[in-house]
């Protein structure tokens, strides 16, 4: 009996399979978080390269609109099949789309217009702490002493890098309205990270991200049009197109998917300290790409960040909560089982 010929994969099927295989290969949520921070760090270098040719909301809008154009062919069939569920849970998906897709990137890009990169890095270092506070307010989830120590140690590593090893720089900092925008962005991201633990376990990872992106792009559209009318928009050149494609495919479709999956397994509190990897990775990339010199404070900062993440990641797991069906289960275990079923 002859076997039927193997049908060639379509482009979208091949991309979906490759992305799923990468997620399965990097089964550990900690590996997914490292990959996420690597991709997000590289995107900041891309943003800096095109910053003079674009406007904040236009950059966020085109990044996620392009990501949506990639995600819809990959998950459109599932979205149609699950349209009743999406309609029933639209408030949760809208809230996640507004916080994680529409607001965070737009607000950070606006902040960069009126503050310094050092100030943004300093305020961003507070994100794991903000996640802990929001997690306690919403979930009443506390952290262990080990996790708290890990956050403090990794924060010290970030400060060592952004102050270039000179604590006196902290005393000479001047704050601008952009710093308030940055703090608002970090609060929004903390809320998004915590809310991920409440996401309905129905959609596959790509369909879930596509749903959030659809809501997020819809919310951004009127602001994008208003900015275009009053301020202008991104210049249409090949550098900007390439930058948007890179950020859409890697910093959005891949990285956001990895982050969502990791937080769904280990929780926002344990994932938060990994955000401190970004200044360390940006430093390493600057050394490789821009031939910058490695200083002692770079090594100290990176060492503290890695040590802090190691300490925090060995803290206790998230407490048990009541699942929707009324049985008592561990959220991390439930989410992990959900990913395996998909």
Mean pLDDT (the chain, rounded) = 79
Q: Are 224 and 61 in contact, with CB atoms under 8 Å apart? A: yes
Question: Residue range 228-252: average pLDDT?
Answer: 90
* CB-based contacts of 163, cutoff 8 Å, min separation 6: 118, 169, 170, 297
CA quadruple 142, 143, 145, 146: dihedral, nearest 10: 170
Ranking 126-130, 133-137, 175-179, 318-322 by mean pLDDT, the lowest is 318-322
Residues sharing a CB contact under 8 Å with residue 124, sequence separation 6 or more, in sequence order: 158, 182, 186, 275, 278
**What's the pTM value of the predicted model, to 2 decimals?**
0.77
Token pair for residue 136?
Answer: 């306690």
DSSP tally for the chain: helices H, then strands E: 18, 2
**Contact indicator for 177, 123 with CB cutoff of 8 Å:** no
Q: Tokens at residue 102, please?
A: 């529409």
* CB distance 87 to 144 below 8 Å: no
pLDDT for res 75: 94
Mean pLDDT of all residues in 231-238: 83
- Closest by CA to 92, choosing from 197, 224, 248, is 197
Q: What is the pLDDT of residue 84?
A: 95
pLDDT for 133 beyond 90: no
Taking Cα atoms as reference points, which of 315, 301, 313 lies closest to residue 155? 301
What does the alpha-carbon distance between residue 45 and residue 42 come to, in Å, rounded to a whole number? Answer: 5
- Predicted confidence band of residue 321 (pLDDT cuts 50, 70, 90): very low
Helix, strand or coil, per DSSP, at residue 87: helix
H or E segment to which residue 329 belongs:
strand 328-329
């Amino acid at each position: 009996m002859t076997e039927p010929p193997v049908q060639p994969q379509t482009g979208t099927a091949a991309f979906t399979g490759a992305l799923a295989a990468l997620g399965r290969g990097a089964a550990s949520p900690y590996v997914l978080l490292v990959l996420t921070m690597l991709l997000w760090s590289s995107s900041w270098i891309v943003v800096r390269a095109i910053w003079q040719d674009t406007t904040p909301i236009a950059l966020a809008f085109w990044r996620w609109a392009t990501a949506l154009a990639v995600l819809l062919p990959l998950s459109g069939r599932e979205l149609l099949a699950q349209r009743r569920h999406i309609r029933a849970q639209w408030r949760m998906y809208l809230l996640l789309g507004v916080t994680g897709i529409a607001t965070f990137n737009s607000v950070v890009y606006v902040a960069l217009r009126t503050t310094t990169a050092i100030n943004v890095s300093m305020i961003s270092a507070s994100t794991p702490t903000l996640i802990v506070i929001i997690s306690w307010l919403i979930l009443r989830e506390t952290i262990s002493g080990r996790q708290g120590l890990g956050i403090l140690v990794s924060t010290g590593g970030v400060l060592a890098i952004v102050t270039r090893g000179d604590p006196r720089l902290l005393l000479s900092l001047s704050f601008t309205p952009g710093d308030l925008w940055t703090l608002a962005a970090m609060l929004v991201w903390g809320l998004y990270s915590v809310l991920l633990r409440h996401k309905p376990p129905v959609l596959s990872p790509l369909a879930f991200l596509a749903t959030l992106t659809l809501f997020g792009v819809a919310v951004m559209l009127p602001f994008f049009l208003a900015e275009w009318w009053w301020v202008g928009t991104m210049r249409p050149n090949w550098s900007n197109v390439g930058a948007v494609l890179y950020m859409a495919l890697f910093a959005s479709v891949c990285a956001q998917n990895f982050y969502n999956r990791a937080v769904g397994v280990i929780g926002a509190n344990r994932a938060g300290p990994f955000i401190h990897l970004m200044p360390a990775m940006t430093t390493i990339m600057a050394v490789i790409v821009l031939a910058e010199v490695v200083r002692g404070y770079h090594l100290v900062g990176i060492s503290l960040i890695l040590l802090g993440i190691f300490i925090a990641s060995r803290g206790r797991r998230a407490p048990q909560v009541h699942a929707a069906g009324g049985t008592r289960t561990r959220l991390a275990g439930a989410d992990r089982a959900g990913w395996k079923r998909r």
